[in-house]
């Protein structure tokens, strides 16, 4: 009986994760870690929004940055301003949802034309990340 309950609970959790991914809702908290040409990137983003459109704040280097983006259930795109040596930047993350619920992809930094890679994950204390279908 216990095995049956566990199977039912797992099925319910899995189906809710798949529904979450299908609805394209990336709202919530995400931790982003990456690298741009040897420079470590660490953002903690809190996002909200209906459907696929996201708005919120990413905190980078102890500064809150207004953030916009989209999450269609498999692809996350986030954009926010930044700064390096007093020069204004635009940081764009574009990544795909992985089987483990993380999002991996590329970082684009303009106007410097620098690039890098990142992984985004839900902190353990928040809602689990969606799983790809």
pLDDT in tens, 24-74: 468 889 999 999 999 999 999 999 987 789 999 999 989 999 999 998 879
pLDDT at 73: 79
Structural domains present in the chain: 24-121 (2.40.128.120)
**In which band, very low, low, confident or very high, does the pLDDT at 123 lie, cut at 50, 70 and 90?**
confident
C-beta separation of 33 from 118 below 8 A = yes
Residues 6+ apart with CB under 8 A from 115: 36, 37, 106, 107, 108, 109
Please, which residues bridge with residue 77 across strands? 70, 94
State residue 17 phi and psi, 5-degree precision: -65, -40
Rounded to whole angstroms, how far apart are CA atoms 62 and 100? Answer: 28
**Res 108 pLDDT > 70:** yes
User: What kind and span of H or E run contains 22?
Assistant: helix 2-23
The DSSP code sequence of 42-94 is EEEEEEE-STTEEEEEEEETTEEEEEEEEE-SSEEEEEEEEEETTEEEEEEEE
pLDDT at 17: 34
Q: What would the two tokens of residue 55 be?
A: 């708005």
């Amino acid at each position: 009986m216990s095995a049956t309950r566990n199977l039912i609970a797992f099925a319910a959790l899995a189906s809710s994760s798949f529904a979450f991914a299908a609805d394209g809702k990336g709202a919530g908290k995400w931790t982003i870690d990456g690298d741009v040409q040897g420079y470590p990137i660490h953002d903690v983003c809190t996002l909200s929004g209906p459907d696929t459109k996201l708005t919120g704040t990413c905190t980078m280097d102890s500064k809150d940055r207004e953030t916009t983006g989209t999450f269609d259930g498999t692809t996350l795109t986030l954009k926010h301003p930044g700064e390096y040596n007093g020069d204004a930047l635009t940081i764009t993350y574009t990544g795909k949802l992985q089987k483990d619920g993380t999002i991996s992809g590329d970082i684009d930094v303009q106007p410097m034309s620098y690039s890098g890679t990142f992984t985004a994950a839900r902190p353990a204390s928040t809602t689990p990340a969606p799983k790809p279908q």
